[in-house]
Amino acid sequence: MEAFLVSLTSVAIAEIGDRTQLLSLALAAHYRKPVPIIAGIFLATIANHSVAGVLGAWFGRLLTPTVLDVIVGASMVAMAVWVLRVDTLKGGAEVSSQSAFVATAIAFFIAEIGDKTQIATLALAAAYPALVAVVAGTTAGMLIANIPAVFLGDALSGKLPIRQMNYVAAMLFGALGVIFIARALW
């Protein structure tokens, strides 16, 4: 349960103002079809985070618990710094003329590659032996952050206190990093 809750909370907060959330806003404004967009986000996230989770679990088995805690702790501290950088969509959102579902699934999967939430999934899967709980938590966190963006579309984009939310996310990642590093040292 801890793996699920830490994964859910970390990703839900980190996703606020992230490029994939901005993509959700752009897709919602373009298609105005929330159900297929949400389904596309779900499919893309489950696929992307499953791959990241499997890789994280594999790396986690190769390392001693102490080394793993230090690496995960350092990656969480790095995530704390990274989350302070506000993402933007460069050049506007390019969307396909395909269905809302297909366009969302493809665009979201690609946008999530190398994203901070994918890296967080990899690190959390390395840290916790409950791979399914980690992927379920990170996927639920993505949906918690993106479903309101889909339903509120453009009206939401300029009204969220993104900077303050990024500070909260940075503090969360920093605290998790300190906890993992402290666990490695003691």
Residue 147 has pLDDT above 90, yes or no: yes
Residues comprising the chain, all counted: 186
Residue closest to 60 by CA, chosen among 180, 173, 141, 169 = 180
pLDDT of residue 113: 85
More confident residue, 172 or 40: 40
Query: In this predicted model, what pLDDT tens digit does every residue of 87-98 receive, in sequence order?
Result: 555 554 444 445
Residue closest to 140 by CA, chosen among 37, 8, 50 = 8
Taking CA atoms, 62 is separated from 11, 53, 102, 177, in Å, by 25, 14, 37, 20
Q: What average pLDDT is seen over the chain?
A: 83
Residue 160 has pLDDT above 70, yes or no: no
More confident residue, 142 or 152: 142
d(CA 123, CA 80): 13
Pair of tokens at residue 102: 């297909």
Taking CA atoms, 19 is separated from 3, 52, 55, 181, in Å, by 25, 18, 23, 29
Compute the average pLDDT of residues 28-52: 92
Residue 61 has pLDDT above 90, yes or no: no
Q: What pTM was estimated for this model as a whole?
A: 0.73
Range ranked top by mean pLDDT from 31-35, 82-86, 123-127? 123-127
Compute the average pLDDT of residues 125-142: 95
Q: 100-116 in b/e burial notation, b at 16+ Cβ within 10 A?
A: bbebbbbbbbebbeebb
Compute the average pLDDT of residues 61-85: 79
d(CA 152, CA 77): 32
Query: In this predicted model, what pLDDT tens digit does every residue of 15-32 receive, in sequence order?
Result: 887 778 878 887 887 788
Pair of tokens at residue 21: 């959330």
